[in-house]
């Protein structure tokens, strides 16, 4: 998970997974969500629709949890609910689990790439 921006409680980023129950989720997917961390809270919620230029998985996953610092590490502890398209199999198509996301420093290449995107031309 890469969080590109948190502004006014809105989270924007991307998500890539190596885990896919049907092998469909290939590549990077848009991530959107909400949080109250920029006003002192701990609540975090975000979702990913598993559809991009190369994959259309007919599935969506939502995470809800808390942003905390544990043993000097910034983490998001969240439960997830994933639903995939399975007509007439409502609850069979719903999966529940939990994840722990730990903040890591981006690679120098990622920082350089984002820096280029943020530069504005001089008028």
27-78 tens-digit pLDDT: 899 999 999 988 888 999 999 999 999 888 888 999 999 999 999 999 999 9
58: Cβ contacts below 8 Å, ≥ 6 apart:
50, 84, 85
pTM score, two decimals? 0.79
Nearest to 16 by CA among 31, 1, 33, 3: 1
**CATH number assigned to the domain with residue range 2-118, chosen from the 4 options 3.40.50.720, 2.40.128.30, 1.10.3720.10, 3.40.50.150:** 2.40.128.30
């Amino acid at each position: 998970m890469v969080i590109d921006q948190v502004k006014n409680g809105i989270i924007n980023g991307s998500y890539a997974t190596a885990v896919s129950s049907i092998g469909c989720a290939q590549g990077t997917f848009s991530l959107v969500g909400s949080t109250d961390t920029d006003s002192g809270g701990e609540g975090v919620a975000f979702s990913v629709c598993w559809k991009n230029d190369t994959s259309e998985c007919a599935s969506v996953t939502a995470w809800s949890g808390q942003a905390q610092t544990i043993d000097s590490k910034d983490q998001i502890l969240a439960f997830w609910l994933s639903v995939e398209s399975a007509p007439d199999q409502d609850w069979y198509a719903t999966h529940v689990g939990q994840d722990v996301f730990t903040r890591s420093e981006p690679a120098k290449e990622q920082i350089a790439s984002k820096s280029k995107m943020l530069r504005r031309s001089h008028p």
